[in-house]
C-alpha cells in the first residue's frame, strides 16, 4: 500500500511537470505580436539644380525615388511643389500605391524666372495620413549679376567741424555674378544711419550707367566733411540691376567741435567733466550712448572705452555692437592750454543674450 501510494504521488508530480513544460514550450513557440509601421523616404532628400539662365526653358528632369520603408501598403494621394515664383515644376509622377519595399519616381524641372538664389520643396502625403508627409529640398540659382562691396564699412579719423573734406576712403564694387552688372546710381543715403550730408562721394571709377562685366570691379571714393560735432554715420548706397539692390556699405567718423574762445584769463583749475546720462548698470543692449558736459574751461574732450586708446569726442558719444561682459567708459576734459582734468567714469555690464 505504502509503495503504491508513493508511486501514485510520483506519477502525479511527473504529470504536473510535463504539463508545465508543455505550456512553456507553447508560449515560447508562439510568435510575438509586432506593431506595423508606416513610413517612406525620398532619395535623394535634397537637390541643387545649379546656375541656370532665367527663362531659358526647363532643365532636364531630375528623378526622385520614393520608397515604402514600412510594413503596410501606402497610397500617394497628394504631390506638391512649394516655390514662391514657380521656378520648380513636376515633370512626371509615377507614384500611386506602394507595397512595403516598393518604390516609384517623381521627376522635377527647374526654370528660374529671374536672377538670384531659388528654393522650393517637393512633398507627398499618404491616404488616410498613415505615413507622415515627406519632402525633398530643392534649390537652384537664376544666372545674373551679383554685387559685393568691400570693405563693408570705413571709419574716418576724427576731424574738426569745418576742416573737411578729409582724404577719401575707397570701396570696391565687384560683380560676382554670371551676367553684366549695370549700375544705376551711387550716393550716400539716409537708410540705416542719418548723416548722409557729412560724407560726400569724392570720385572713383564707378558711375551711373557703368556696365561691369562678370568678375569685374570698380571703385567708389567717399570723403568726410563734418559740419556738426559728434559721432556721424551714413550709408553708401549703390543701386543696380542685381538682385537685392540697393546694396549698402557704412561710413562713419567723429566731428570735433571747435574750441570756444574765452574773453578772460583761463582758470587755474583743471577742466571738469560730468556724465549726464548713460546705460543702466546691467542691460541686454549692446549699444551705449553717453551725454556729458564740461566746465567752462573744457575746450575739448577725450573719451576712452575699456582698454582702447583715448579718442577725441563730443557729447553724445555712441558705441555699437559691444560684447557681453563688463565695460568702462571714461571722459576727460582738456583746456586751451592742453591741461587735462580728472576723468569722469561710468561702469556697466552687457548681459548675455
Q: Minimal CA–CA distance to 346: which of 334, 331, 333, 329?
A: 329
Q: What pLDDT does residue 129 have?
A: 82
Q: What pLDDT does residue 266 have?
A: 52
Q: Minimal CA–CA distance to 110: which of 45, 46, 52?
A: 52
Q: Is 29 exposed, middle or buried (0-12, 13-18, 19+ CB in 10 A)?
A: exposed
C-alpha cell at 228: 556738426
The structural domains of the chain, with segments of one domain joined by +, span 40-142, 147-256, 273-350
Q: What pLDDT does residue 342 have?
A: 92
Q: Where are the alpha helices (DSSP H) in the chain?
A: 2-29
Q: Which fold has domain 147-256?
A: Immunoglobulin-like (2.60.40)
Phi first, then psi: give them for residue 142, nearest 5 degrees: -80, 125
pTM passes above 0.85? no
Q: Which residue has the cell 508530480?
A: 13
Q: What pLDDT does residue 3 have?
A: 41
Provide block-wise average pLDDT over 10 residues at a time, the chain (353 residues). 39 38 40 69 95 89 95 92 86 94 96 89 90 94 92 94 94 95 93 88 96 96 94 94 92 87 64 93 93 90 94 92 95 88 94 88
Q: What pLDDT does residue 20 have?
A: 35
Per residue, what are the HEC states of the chain?
Answer: CHHHHHHHHHHHHHHHHHHHHHHHHHHHHCCCCCCCCCCEEEECCEEEEEEECCCCCCCCCEEEEEEECCCCCEEEEEEEEEECCCCEEEEEECCCEECCCCEEEEEEEECCCCCEEEEEEEEEEEHHHCCCCEEEEEEEEECCCCEEEECCEEECCCEECCCCCCCCEEEEEEECCCCCEEEEEEEEECCCCCCHHHCCEEECCCCCCCEECCCCEEEEEECCCCCCCEEEEEEEEEEECCCCCCEEEEEEEEEECCCCCCCCCCCCCCCCEEEEECCCCEECCCCEEEEEEECCCCCEEEEEECCCCCEEECCCEEECCCCCEEEEEEEEEECCCCCECCCEEEEEEECCC
> In angstroms, rounded to a whole number, what is the distance separating the alpha carbons of residues 332 and 311?
10
Q: Is 309 helix (H, G, I), strand (E, B) or coil?
A: coil
> In angstroms, rounded to a whole number, what is the distance separating the alpha carbons of residues 67 and 289?
60
Q: Which CATH number fits domain 273-350: 2.60.40.10, 3.90.870.10, 3.40.50.150, 1.10.3720.10?
A: 2.60.40.10
The architecture (CATH level 2) of 40-142 comes to: Sandwich (2.60)
Amino acid at each position: 500500500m505504502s509503495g503504491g501510494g508513493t508511486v501514485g504521488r510520483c506519477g502525479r508530480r511527473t504529470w504536473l511537470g510535463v504539463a508545465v513544460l508543455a505550456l512553456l514550450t507553447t508560449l515560447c513557440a508562439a510568435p510575438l505580436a509586432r506593431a506595423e509601421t508606416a513610413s517612406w523616404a525620398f532619395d535623394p532628400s535634397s537637390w541643387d539644380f545649379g546656375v541656370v539662365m532665367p527663362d531659358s526653358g526647363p532643365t532636364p528632369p531630375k528623378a526622385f525615388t520614393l520608397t515604402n520603408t514600412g510594413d503596410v501598403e501606402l497610397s500617394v494621394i497628394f504631390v506638391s511643389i512649394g516655390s514662391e515664383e514657380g521656378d520648380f515644376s513636376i515633370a512626371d509622377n509615377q507614384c500611386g500605391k506602394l507595397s512595403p519595399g516598393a518604390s516609384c519616381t517623381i521627376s522635377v524641372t527647374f526654370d528660374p524666372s529671374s536672377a538670384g538664389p531659388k528654393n522650393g520643396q517637393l512633398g507627398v502625403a499618404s491616404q488616410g495620413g498613415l505615413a507622415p508627409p515627406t519632402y525633398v529640398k530643392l534649390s537652384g540659382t537664376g544666372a545674373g549679376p551679383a554685387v559685393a562691396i568691400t570693405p563693408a564699412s570705413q571709419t574716418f579719423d576724427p576731424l574738426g567741424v569745418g576742416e573737411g573734406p578729409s582724404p577719401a576712403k575707397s570701396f570696391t564694387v565687384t560683380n560676382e555674378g554670371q551676367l553684366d552688372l549695370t549700375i544705376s546710381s551711387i550716393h550716400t543715403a539716409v537708410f540705416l544711419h542719418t548723416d548722409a550730408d557729412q560724407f560726400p562721394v569724392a570720385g572713383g571709377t564707378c558711375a551711373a550707367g557703368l556696365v561691369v562685366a562678370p568678375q569685374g570691379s570698380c571703385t567708389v571714393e567717399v570723403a568726410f566733411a563734418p559740419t556738426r560735432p559728434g559721432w556721424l554715420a551714413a550709408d553708401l548706397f549703390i543701386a543696380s540691376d542685381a538682385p537685392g539692390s540697393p546694396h549698402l556699405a557704412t561710413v562713419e567718423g567723429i566731428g570735433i567741435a571747435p574750441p570756444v574762445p574765452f574773453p578772460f584769463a583761463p582758470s587755474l583749475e583743471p577742466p571738469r567733466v560730468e556724465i549726464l546720462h548713460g546705460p543702466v548698470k546691467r542691460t541686454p543692449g549692446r549699444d551705449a550712448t553717453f551725454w556729458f558736459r564740461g566746465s567752462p574751461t573744457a575746450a575739448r574732450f577725450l573719451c576712452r572705452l575699456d582698454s582702447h586708446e583715448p579718442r577725441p569726442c563730443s557729447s553724445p558719444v555712441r558705441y555699437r555692437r559691444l560684447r557681453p561682459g563688463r565695460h568702462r567708459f571714461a571722459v576727460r576734459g582738456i583746456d586751451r592750454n592742453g591741461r587735462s582734468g580728472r576723468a569722469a567714469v561710468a561702469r556697466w555690464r552687457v548681459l548675455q543674450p
